[in-house]
Amino acid sequence: MNAVSRAVIVGLVVGLFLVEANHLFTQKGNQLKSKVLLPDTAWSFAQPIPASPELLIEAVEKYHASIKCPFDKGALTALSPLTKVDLEYDYAIQRSSGEWEHIPVVVRVGDGTRSLSYAEILWKLHSAAHEHLHDQDHHYFEGLAPKEKDINPGVPAYEVYLGS
């Protein structure tokens, strides 16, 4: 077998590998889009903002212990297939009329250059949402649910489930 034949065979094998890897990644992304993320991660946006995703993991572990809830550290340390994501939550303010107004907020996490860990996603969300949610009745994180329609084209969007 000459060098050209070997190069063609190697090129075909590499090409097939890349096609399969892309298919698996896309398939995993589609599976991810169909389910709630971090449904078993208990957290409160009233907690102080940790200085890093690593410190958030420690704080979530302590929080779980304080409420006697099992903690899966791997759920937070795992890399997601997401390289950027829009997270939407809302908070309420009471107007002088006594009416409550719900204000939607979208937080963009990631810039599309690398996969995000789930801890990084939750940390960025906490950093952005703390100001609005720390004193709200609904400030407990209960997961991220996929939105039917993206907020920005090509960027996966999730709704932040909040409980009281």
- Give the three-class secondary structure for 68: coil
Judge if 64 and 88 occupy the same domain. Answer: yes
Judge if 81 and 21 occupy the same domain. Answer: no
Q: In this structure, are strands 140-146 and 43-44 parallel, antiparallel, or unpaired?
A: antiparallel
Judge if 135 and 57 occupy the same domain. Answer: yes
Judge if 51 and 26 occupy the same domain. Answer: no
Judge if 16 and 73 occupy the same domain. Answer: no
Judge if 73 and 142 occupy the same domain. Answer: yes
Which tens digits make up the pLDDT trace of 134-162? 999 999 999 999 999 999 999 999 999 99
Residue corresponding to tokens 């409980």: 163
Judge if 2 and 44 occupy the same domain. Answer: no
Which tens digits make up the pLDDT trace of 75-110? 999 999 999 999 999 999 999 999 999 999 999 999
Judge if 11 and 44 occupy the same domain. Answer: no
pTM for the model:
0.78
Q: In which domain, by residue range, is 3 found? A: 1-34
Q: Answer yes or no: are the C-beta atoms of 157 and 88 closer than 8 Å.
A: yes
Judge if 100 and 129 occupy the same domain. Answer: yes
